[in-house]
Structure 1
Amino acid sequence: MPKVNLHKRDYLDNIDQDFANPEFIDKLAPKFHSSDLRVNRSPYLTERNVNYRWKALGNEECRRQLLDPHTQEQMALYSKNIEFFVGTLKMPVGTAGPLRVNGLFAQGDYQVPLATTEAALVASYNRGANLITASGGASAMLLNEGVTRTPGFAFKSLIEAGQFVAWLVTQFDHFKVLAESTTSHGKLSDINVNIEGNHVYLVFEYLTGDASGQNMVTIATNVVFDYILAHSPIDPDYAFLDGNLSGDKKANSQTLRSVRGKKVTAEVTIPEELVQKYLHTTPKKMAQFGQMTTVGGALSGTIGINAHYANALAALYIACGQDAACVAESAIGMTRMEVTDEGQLYASVTLPNLMVGTVGGGTGLPSQKACLDLLGLHGNGKSQALAEVAATLCLAGELSIVGAFCAGHFSRAHHKLAR
């Protein structure tokens, strides 16, 4: 006989009884009275608009915290990054390092700024970074680049879809000119065609230079999309600029084998004595942990296998002005740990979805630019290096957390540092 969750059953029983209560029904009913909490006079950042919003919000203590004098002095710098501005949020920032990266683009030791409110996080990455550095550094390699946007088109039949594709494949050179007319940095590198019945999905893939590039590829693809609707010999019944095939800001399996953003792999080989010194465990036990959790990940339906890429990437993205929502896709990847013939620990990470940039977006804001400057990675020509640093940072975190579980220190560290 299957087990019954008694707490859940009682809760549902209570809801069933509450639906007979008029007060319960009234709580869920629509409310159409006007709101006194109207603060959005205009989305634009001007001193007059900001003052209007705070007058409407009416909380002076909150205003002092969010709109401090330093923020007021720099207020104009935020005008292209946010609407309905009311102030800035202060996040604690720590650094983990030195993290030694032997990459194609990132070379040297880095102190990596991490913005987080989670105790024990920076300490964990700092430990992993120091272990990697003591082992001579991690080798890191940028494997591929590409940012996608995926329009979708619906037709009456498969025949019409096929006729549309037959015309479409003759237009790439013209599409490339149209797309690249909208940007001085983006390059349309490929268009893949996916037919699903009477639906056609197009995967537009771009190189975006040193920008993360999501807005760039949206604007470029929209120009081509409008051209297709105006000139296609077969009119679609309906069409949309994105058909949800890009994997934008959501976990997805298709880019696990390809790329969205920047695909990077990093590896390190660590002598047994250093594993013992820094992690208080053995290579064998860490490899066993990897085997068990790989099976556990498969049982849970996890996309990719890793311990906690999201911790590193969220803290790094927030500190360095990246789009933090991209962690949803960027935190997918593969971690492996094996024991070598010499008894050393081999560890590697592969992340195919690193959405990072060193120009544009939030990278030019005062605090975020300062964090990129700490890394020496702000501006043109630095995004590939940032991606290699990000992957190596994830490797540091994997080593540290797996070591903590193997040594029985995971709960103890959180108890000590979080209290």
Structure 2
Amino acid sequence: MPKLNLHQRDYVSFLGGELSADQLEQTLRPNLGRSSLRLTPSPYLTDKNVDKRWSVLESLTDKSQLLDATTEQQKEVYAINIEHFIGTVKLPVGVAGPLRVNGLFANEDYLIPLATTEAALVASYNRGSQLITAAGGASAMLLNEGVTRTPGFAFHSLKEAGQFVAWVVTQYDTFKQIAESTTSHGKLTDINVNIEGNHVYLVFEYLTGDASGQNMVTIATNAVFEFIMEHTPVDPDYAFLDGNLSGDKKPNAHSLRSVRGKKVTAEVHLTKELVEKYLHTTPEKMVQFGQMTTVGGALSGTIGINAHYANALAALYIACGQDAACVAESAVGMTRMEINKSGGLYASVTLPNIMVGTVGGGTGLPSQNACLDILGLHGNGKSQALAEVAAALCLAGELSIVGAFCAGHFSRAHHKLARK
């Protein structure tokens, strides 16, 4: 094999120069040989299937690191959350706080479990949480809720697309009855129609109770989709259950002004003295940082402006049994900092795509259930509070990281905590 030239940027030319055309073709061509790494084809979690998988894997790694005694004893609880189960992965969990939240639904002091392998992360959120609490807490408000699924239909012409839409808009009550017959918690609240040439996208929006709701809305919309395909007066050339207009697990500009999941805004007023005591900088410098990074974000084409919502949300989601892939959309939002009337710092965050639930999904698994119990937010009637806590946590992180950059402590903290 050729040695990797760290200064080489054109890797195609590099490979072409080191390998003959025949060698390159042989290296890259498909290998149709049968793999020796064959596992049981059944995805289900049974003792027999787990044993079959480990008969292959034990030669590759230490089984006890993934299938320890506790996991072995509890493995049945994972049956509806995973396919081809082989064990569990342990992540370090830290706790930040107390974080005081004065919200419509979250209204107390919270200890926040965060699962991460990134040094300095929990320390940063702990500092921001204590600062907010010292200021009397963050005000938080749930603004909107809704989870979407967006079937797409392709027709021969715009005329056929229009005829299809003319029928669809008469069917809302029927669609609502069909969708809600698949779930005891979900409610179909709206259907928006988008026509793009001879394509029609239907945006089905639901309330999903205390569940995050992605599976719920998929099943409900699929039932409506099947009804449409059977009863539409204008047959589409082709159609799919989702036309990628929902923004599911992708950052997108549409939901920045709308909602997918739960839209929450949170704010705090900090005195100059608190900023100096906890962050070792000034409100003026933090505002200057915000101005410069807002322009930088615009230059880079960022959707929304924030320092690092993804850190808080990924750590919280993993600890509390949320769908970690939803961080891709949940981390879209706006951070703003200004000098307030008393010369202190006003800071706010607005996150339109917080995808959290307190029932269903991974929330009932042993470790994740325990983390939600630390928050006091496991079970029915708690998802709105969890969303407000998530927004306040992001606010704590924004204050801490901006303060660290302004005080020149960002690199020092990582050096101190990550390099023992």
Pick the TM interval, shorter chain: over 0.9
Is residue 241 from structure 1 mapped to residue 241 from structure 2 by the alignment?
A: yes
For residue 307 of structure 1, what is the amino acid of its counterpart?
A
* 1:133-152 correspondence to structure 2 within 5 Å: 133-152=133-152
Q: 1:21 to 1:95 in 2, by over 3 A?
A: same
Offset, 1:15: 2.1
CA distance in 2, matches of 1:387, 1:416: 32
Aligned to 2:110: 110
CA distance in 1, matches of 2:160, 2:343: 61
Q: Is the 8 A contact 2:138 2:266 kept in 1?
A: yes
Q: 1:194 to 1:33 in 2, by over 3 A?
A: same
DSSP-derived class of the 2:275 partner: helix
Q: How many residues align?
A: 414
CA distance in 2, matches of 1:394, 1:61: 37
For residue 145 of structure 2, what is the amino acid of its counterpart?
E
Offset, 1:9: 5.2
CA distance in 2, matches of 1:195, 1:307: 36
Aligned to 1:72: 72
DSSP-derived class of the 1:256 partner: helix
DSSP-derived class of the 1:250 partner: coil
For residue 177 of structure 1, what is the amino acid of its counterpart?
Q
| Residue-by-residue CA offset, 1:216-265 (whole Å, 9 max, x unaligned) | 00000000000001001011000000000000001100000000000000
Aligned to 1:120: 120
Q: Is the 8 A contact 2:287 2:337 kept in 1?
A: yes
| Residue-by-residue CA offset, 1:131-152 (whole Å, 9 max, x unaligned) | 0000000000000000000000
CA distance in 1, matches of 2:407, 2:60: 49
Offset, 1:39: 1.3
Is residue 394 from structure 1 mapped to residue 394 from structure 2 by the alignment?
A: yes
For residue 75 of structure 1, what is the amino acid of its counterpart?
K
Q: Is the 8 A contact 2:93 2:319 kept in 1?
A: yes
Structure 2 runs not aligned, ≥5 long:
1-5
Aligned to 1:42: 42
For residue 319 of structure 1, what is the amino acid of its counterpart?
A
Aligned to 1:24: 24
For residue 225 of structure 2, what is the amino acid of its counterpart?
F
CA distance in 1, matches of 2:357, 2:11: 48
For residue 73 of structure 2, what is the amino acid of its counterpart?
E
CA distance in 2, matches of 1:16, 1:138: 58
CA distance in 1, matches of 2:412, 2:125: 16
CA distance in 2, matches of 1:161, 1:61: 56
For residue 387 of structure 1, what is the amino acid of its counterpart?
A
Aligned to 2:304: 304
Q: TM (normalized to structure 1)?
A: 0.97
Aligned to 2:168: 168
CA distance in 1, matches of 2:19, 2:274: 63
Aligned to 2:96: 96
Q: Is the 8 A contact 1:336 1:348 kept in 2?
A: yes
CA distance in 2, matches of 1:62, 1:172: 55
CA distance in 1, matches of 2:56, 2:12: 40
CA distance in 2, matches of 1:224, 1:389: 34
| Residue-by-residue CA offset, 1:68-107 (whole Å, 9 max, x unaligned) | 1110000100000000000000000000000000000001
Is residue 130 from structure 1 mapped to residue 130 from structure 2 by the alignment?
A: yes
Q: Is the 8 A contact 2:150 2:245 kept in 1?
A: yes
Aligned to 2:274: 274
Aligned to 2:3: none
Q: Is the 8 A contact 2:8 2:14 kept in 1?
A: no
Q: 1:52 to 1:11 in 2, by over 3 A?
A: closer
Offset, 1:56: 1.6
Offset, 1:194: 0.3
Aligned to 1:415: 415
Q: Is the 8 A contact 2:16 2:24 kept in 1?
A: no
Q: 1:413 to 1:23 in 2, by over 3 A?
A: same
Q: Is the 8 A contact 1:41 1:52 kept in 2?
A: no
For residue 271 of structure 1, what is the amino acid of its counterpart?
T
CA distance in 2, matches of 1:316, 1:180: 30
For residue 44 of structure 2, what is the amino acid of its counterpart?
Y
Q: Is the 8 A contact 1:44 1:84 kept in 2?
A: yes
Structure 1 runs not aligned, ≥5 long:
1-5
Aligned to 1:3: none
Offset, 1:42: 1.1
Aligned to 2:317: 317
For residue 171 of structure 2, what is the amino acid of its counterpart?
Q
Offset, 1:8: 4.2
CA distance in 2, matches of 1:148, 1:220: 11
* 1:286-365 correspondence to structure 2 within 5 Å: 286-365=286-365
Q: Is the 8 A contact 1:144 1:262 kept in 2?
A: yes
Q: Is the 8 A contact 1:18 1:24 kept in 2?
A: no
| Residue-by-residue CA offset, 1:169-196 (whole Å, 9 max, x unaligned) | 0000000000000000000000000000
| Residue-by-residue CA offset, 1:258-293 (whole Å, 9 max, x unaligned) | 000000000000000000000000000000100000
Q: Is the 8 A contact 2:210 2:383 kept in 1?
A: yes
- Higher mean alpha-carbon deviation, 180-189 vs 42-51, is at 42-51
Aligned to 1:213: 213
| Residue-by-residue CA offset, 1:281-319 (whole Å, 9 max, x unaligned) | 000000010000000000000000000000000000000
Offset, 1:414: 0.2
Aligned to 1:179: 179
* Seq. identity, %: 77
Offset, 1:29: 1.0
Offset, 1:58: 2.7
DSSP-derived class of the 1:99 partner: strand
CA distance in 2, matches of 1:96, 1:150: 38
CA distance in 1, matches of 2:321, 2:11: 43
